[in-house]
A and B are shown apart, each in its own frame.
Chain A
């Protein structure tokens, strides 16, 4: 699971987190996390975002509140999380036990030419989540810590927030369906059944 840099390989980490996912819904922030969740297996319960930078965590909150008995995982990048960082306060106040946010932190804006993000310069997202009031947090750098990360995601003691430091190298592009209407409709059907398309 380690890249040559000695850091976690983003795609192997994603594969480990989504293996045996059960009924868990996964929201992936735009860019590499969206390609990652698709590379390890496109799924009706995946929402790979094509836009709305900064939205991933809040989409997770809306979904977690609507479906309190279902695990919701937001998998996103450091740049995407920083853009919507106020969501940490909003989510911590609402205390959704079924919501987890995992930031795959490569300390760079990977889609735009590898410019450095604030986390490269010491901004500590775990400390920010703790400060907002997240009761459970983790900082992950080693493969041996991934089983505990996965257990925390499934525990339902959230809201849970973790940063996993990952290798910065970009991986092969694996694109999800590009029509967002299909992505939304298939998830709603997977959660709500055929009635999803007849909601009044």
Chain B
């Protein structure tokens, strides 16, 4: 991780990124769509190194909603990884899940949430859960490291067992807020 990167990545000792990767394997997730986020950086590396997972890097998160739809039509399970700001880009596209009853699990790392430094992250971070729920998404938060794996597991199960959009919001309290040296 670049020490000068604006976003903060999970501590190297944190177990949860590898636990999420294990859950993707357990649920036979074959496609991962993403706009990168520092919070997901280790998970993204694990997925890229896995020949059984197709990783698609998107130009905007709403493409990922459409990709999940296509993957499911073709019989593959997929998840969308993004940071909270990207949720705003997905709003209308989430209608695809309701039109077709398509499973769409999303794993969202929060910014603008707990101790945020960057004012620009606050509006969308504060609105993330409300926006997802307004579009009929089942949202669960994980605000401790121990909560992340069980919540992600539930989010993936809910999507594929009940055919709808679901999301885990991984709280900024877990990842930490970068302070640009102004501690």
Interface residues of A (CB under 8 A from B): 25, 27, 47, 50-67, 84, 86-87, 89-90, 93-94, 180-181, 183-184, 187-188, 191-192, 196, 199-200
A24 to chain B, nearest CB (A): 13
Q: Knowing A55-B93, A188-B75 touch, does A62 contact B58 (C-beta < 8 A)?
A: no
A7 to chain B, nearest CB (A): 29
Number of interface residues of B (CB under 8 A): 33
Instruction: Tell me which residues across on chain A come within 8 A of B67, comparing CB atoms.
Output: 58-59, 61-62
Query: B100 to A90, Cβ gap below 8 A?
Result: no
Interface residues of B (CB under 8 A from A): 30-31, 54, 56-60, 62-76, 78, 92-93, 95-96, 99-102, 160
A187: contacting residue among B58, B59, B65, B73, CB under 8 A: B73
A62: contacting residue among B57, B70, B93, B99, CB under 8 A: B70
A52: contacting residue among B58, B72, B74, B93, CB under 8 A: B93
Query: A59 to B66, Cβ gap below 8 A?
Result: yes
Query: B30 to A51, Cβ gap below 8 A?
Result: no
Whole-angstrom CA separation of A65 from B52 in the bound complex: 12
A58: contacting residue among B63, B72, B74, B102, CB under 8 A: B63
Query: A65 to B66, Cβ gap below 8 A?
Result: no
Query: B70 to A64, Cβ gap below 8 A?
Result: yes
Q: Knowing A58-B70, A84-B66, A181-B101 touch, does A52 contact B31 (C-beta < 8 A)?
A: no
Query: A180 to B100, Cβ gap below 8 A?
Result: yes
Chain B minimum-CB-distance residue to A60: B70
Instruction: Tell me which residues across on chain A come within 8 A of B92, comparing CB atoms.
Output: 51-53
Instruction: Tell me which residues across on chain A come within 8 A of B30, comparing CB atoms.
Output: 66
A8 to chain B, nearest CB (A): 27
Instruction: Tell me which residues across on chain B come within 8 A of A60, comparing CB atoms.
Output: 70
Q: Knowing A59-B66, A181-B101 touch, does A52 contact B75 (C-beta < 8 A)?
A: no
Instruction: Tell me which residues across on chain A come within 8 A of B73, comparing CB atoms.
Output: 25, 47, 59, 62-63, 66, 184, 187-188, 191
Instruction: Tell me which residues across on chain A come within 8 A of B57, comparing CB atoms.
Output: 90, 93
Query: B76 to A52, Cβ gap below 8 A?
Result: no
Q: Knowing A180-B99, A181-B101 touch, does A66 contact B63 (C-beta < 8 A)?
A: no
Query: A87 to B99, Cβ gap below 8 A?
Result: no
Q: Knowing A65-B31, A84-B63 touch, does A59 contact B69 (C-beta < 8 A)?
A: yes
Whole-angstrom CA separation of A71 from B64 in the bound complex: 21
Instruction: Tell me which residues across on chain A come within 8 A of B78, comparing CB atoms.
Output: 62
Chain A minimum-CB-distance residue to B27: A200
Query: A86 to B63, Cβ gap below 8 A?
Result: yes
